Amino acid sequence: MAQTDYTIFEILQMDACAGCSLCVDVCPAVSAAEDGKLSAVYRINELRRIMRSRTGFLQKFFGKKALGQELLKPFSDTVFACTLCGGCQQVCPSGIHIKDLWLSLRQDMVHSKAYPKKVDMIGENLAGSHNVFDEDNQERAEWVEDLPDAPDHGFIKDQADVVYFTGCVSSYFPMVQKIPLALVEIFESARVDFTLLGEEEWCCGFPLLGAGLRDQTKDLIGHNLEAVRAKGARKIIFSCPSCYQMWSENYPEEFEIYHITQFLNQLMASGQIMFNELPLTVTYHDPCDLGRGSGEYNAPRQIIRSIPGVELVEMAHNRENCLCCGGGGNLEMIDAGLSSDIAKAKIDEALQTGAQTIVTACQQCVRTMTTYARRYKVAIEVMDITQLVQKALTGKNRPGSG
């Protein structure tokens, strides 16, 4: 393609890189792979070179070869070997919006036909089945059947004040279906008038951004908006930080939207949920899309500290400096080995706290860290914050208790 994949602001920012290499020090992919070519400073330097080759003298000299796959493919491999965690952007002294630049760069690689072929699978799955796993979308809410006393309507109501947007991973991946199951129990105990969208929930579109397929998100966005409107809802709740960030940044401001940690704090403040004592030492992992991506660090910690008996021990890297779990940016699909190596660094740091449990607020973080811990028999539990809240609910909070 060409410069049309980038905004004018992004093109100008490419030349703002001072080459300080601070991004190298914080990049989880660089550390795990021990390869400086996965760093932001390398990519930006190469991108500037490619952009120059597309215009002026170099384009005339090289002709079409300057845009050929044989020249772009090795660079493209580094572009997709990234979790999009935003750590590089956090430390950039020049203030470059690096994560947005990466999304445009991935789109450029797709338009230039220099990209991992698994990107095609992401696009095809979402176009055909409306979920990233190519499962039957009619089965998106089948996890409800695992509830002991599920109502006949399966929490798919004609009208409700709140929509719980479950997300693809929690809908289909058995390892993390405990998250929506816990959340339903919490909502029931707090008497929240909520509904699921069921098969009318389509992927939020976030995986398309990470795949470089930004121009394919329009249909998903339009459909989801209509599905929520049809419920007459005013609020949308997300347990997935990526869904929450996608709606925050790419959907019109039509509804009140909350990540579940923000909404749970409201329920606690209004006295709708109360806790028993739960003796447990935990450390908290800030999901990249909730923390650096959406700026929410306090809500999860407020919840954890509100549970009697729970002790929070912070990791050496926390809040805006939190290490990525390795599960973002479609990396697990592109390079599962690199994703696992990044997860190792995360688990190792958590173990150093002496905590019994890693608590996070993201289904993908739970999945990535749990997979690593189980595979290598690491003695630490990983759970979502909704599961922690569910464990601590007082008896009178529980559904059917009066």
Same domain, 307 and 223: no
Distance between CA atoms of residues 50 and 66, nearest Å: 8
Q: Which of the four pLDDT bands, split at 50, 70 and 90, describes residue 284?
A: very high
Which burial class, exposed, middle or buried, applies to 354 when counting CB atoms under 10 A from its CB (0-12, 13-18, 19+)? Answer: exposed
Same domain, 131 and 201: yes
Of 228, 243, 269, the domain-final residue: 269
Mean confidence (pLDDT) of the chain = 92
Residue 57 maps to which CATH number?
A: 1.10.1060.10
Please check whether residue 183 lies inside any domain of the structure: yes
Q: Looking only at Cα atoms, what is the longest distance across the chain?
A: 79
Of all residues in the chain, what percent carry a pLDDT higher than 70?
93
The alpha carbon dihedral of 273, 276, 277, 279 has a sign of negative
Question: Taking residues 373-388, what's their average pLDDT?
Answer: 97
Phi, psi for 132 (deg, rounded to 5): -70, -15
Please check whether residue 275 lies inside any domain of the structure: no
DSSP reduced 3-state for 149: coil
Same domain, 298 and 218: no
Q: Which of the four pLDDT bands, split at 50, 70 and 90, describes residue 402?
A: very low
Same domain, 263 and 125: yes
Of 240, 269, 298, the domain-final residue: 269
Q: How many other C-beta atoms lie within 10 A of the C-beta of residue 200?
A: 18
Phi, psi for 367 (deg, rounded to 5): -65, -45
Q: With a cut of 80, say whether residue 66 has pLDDT above it.
A: no
Distance between CA atoms of residues 392 and 402, nearest Å: 18
Please check whether residue 173 lies inside any domain of the structure: yes
Please check whether residue 61 lies inside any domain of the structure: yes
Same domain, 303 and 172: no
Same domain, 107 and 142: no
Distance between CA atoms of residues 111 and 308, nearest Å: 53
Distance between CA atoms of residues 32 and 34, nearest Å: 6
Distance between CA atoms of residues 230 and 200, nearest Å: 10
Please check whether residue 398 lies inside any domain of the structure: no
Of 115, 130, 157, the domain-final residue: 115
Same domain, 111 and 127: no
The alpha carbon dihedral of 276, 278, 279, 285 has a sign of negative
Q: What is the pLDDT of residue 2?
A: 54
Strand-pair category, 310-312 with 280-284: parallel
| Inter-CA distances, 338 with 34, 281, 342, Å | 11, 30, 6
DSSP reduced 3-state for 294: coil
Q: What is the pLDDT of residue 52?
A: 84
Q: With a cut of 70, say whether residue 3 has pLDDT above it.
A: no
The alpha carbon dihedral of 365, 387, 249, 216 has a sign of positive
Is there a contact between 250 and 221 (Cβ–Cβ < 8 Å)?
A: yes
Q: What is the pLDDT of residue 399?
A: 52
Question: Taking residues 59-85, what's their average pLDDT?
Answer: 74
Beta bridge partners of 258: 237
* Least-confidence region, from 32-36, 68-72, 134-138, 388-392: 68-72
Same domain, 130 and 98: no
Residue 289 maps to which CATH number?
A: 3.40.50
Same domain, 7 and 139: no
Q: Which of the four pLDDT bands, split at 50, 70 and 90, describes residue 62?
A: very low
- The domain total for the chain is 3
Per-residue pLDDT reduced to its tens digit, 198-235:
999 999 999 999 999 999 999 999 999 999 999 999 99
Q: With a cut of 80, say whether residue 367 has pLDDT above it.
A: yes
Residue 133 maps to which CATH number?
A: 3.40.50.1860
Q: Which of the four pLDDT bands, split at 50, 70 and 90, describes residue 401?
A: very low
Q: With a cut of 50, say whether residue 58 has pLDDT above it.
A: no
Q: With a cut of 90, say whether residue 68 has pLDDT above it.
A: no
Same domain, 248 and 127: yes
Q: What is the pLDDT of residue 393?
A: 93
Distance between CA atoms of residues 250 and 94, nearest Å: 25
Kind plus residue range of the DSSP H or E element containing 256: strand 256-259
For 37, the domain range is 3-115
Contact residues for 276 (Cβ-Cβ < 8 A; gap 6+): 308, 392, 393, 394, 395
Question: Taking residues 370-377, what's their average pLDDT?
Answer: 96
Q: With a cut of 80, say whether residue 353 has pLDDT above it.
A: yes
Same domain, 253 and 154: yes
Q: How many other C-beta atoms lie within 10 A of the C-beta of residue 235?
A: 18
* pTM to 2 decimal places: 0.92
